[in-house]
Amino acid sequence: MAEVLLFHHALGLTEGVHAFADGLRRAGHTVHVPDLYEGRTFADVEAGGAYAQEVGFDTIVARGERAAEGLPEAIVYAGFSLGVVPAQKLAQTRPGAVGALLLSACVPVTEFGAAWPEGVPAQVHGMDADPFFAGEGDLAAARDLVAGAADRELFLYPGTAHLFAERGTADHMPEAAALCAERVLCFLDAVKG
């Protein structure tokens, strides 16, 4: 079974993030879910994003890097939205990564290196009309990430919701979330860190 380091989104470490992690655990995977916000949660993405901006994105990423310390190198890095930033950075820069799961966001690969590391499979999940994912460059970055790579996939779901895969949010889309979870579990079964 795979070992996963899962980073939360701008709302903080919510019950929905815990529920997603628990679903992976029920399938037999080991999942670590650090709190990058030190106990704070927010009711909307704008307020959570403002907090991240106030603290500093570099600080949020550094907290993510510290969360990886002491964990095995053979790990899958996963993140929801804001959490994709530390997940993607670790997948690209920490030796031994066995995969990356990027939900509702994707950063240009060049932010963390010249190229995506060979042999590190990835899945990117997002809604095709999500104003954050499709409208702010993440979709273009995701298309670049998967272009010509047999072990990297982009899954687009119809809709405008941003945090579609997390139950408990206003954005939750049950059918898309279920399909996303199914694809994530297939990915984890295949990588088996």
| Residue 41 pLDDT | 95
Length of the chain: 193
| Residue 115 pLDDT | 93
Amino acid letter, residue 190 = A
> Over its length of 193 residues, how does the chain's per-residue pLDDT go in tens digits?
899 999 999 999 999 999 999 999 999 999 999 999 999 999 998 999 999 999 999 999 999 999 999 999 999 999 999 999 999 999 999 999 999 999 999 999 999 999 999 999 999 999 999 999 999 999 999 999 999 899 999 999 999 999 999 888 889 999 999 999 999 999 999 996 5
- The answer to whether 37 touches 13, Cβ cutoff 8 Å, is yes
| Residue 184 pLDDT | 98
Q: Tell me the whole-structure pTM to 2 decimals.
A: 0.96
Q: How far apart are CA 34 and CA 10, in angstroms?
A: 13
Strand partners, 102: 79, 124
Q: How far apart are CA 100 and CA 154, in angstroms?
A: 12
Report in angstroms the alpha-carbon separations of 57 from 81, 85, 86, 163.
13, 9, 9, 19
| Residue 170 pLDDT | 86
| Residue 169 pLDDT | 85
Q: Which residues of 116-152 are buried (b: 16+ CB within 10 A; e: fewer)?
A: bbeebbbbbbbbeebebbbeeebbebbeebbeeeeeb
| Residue 192 pLDDT | 62
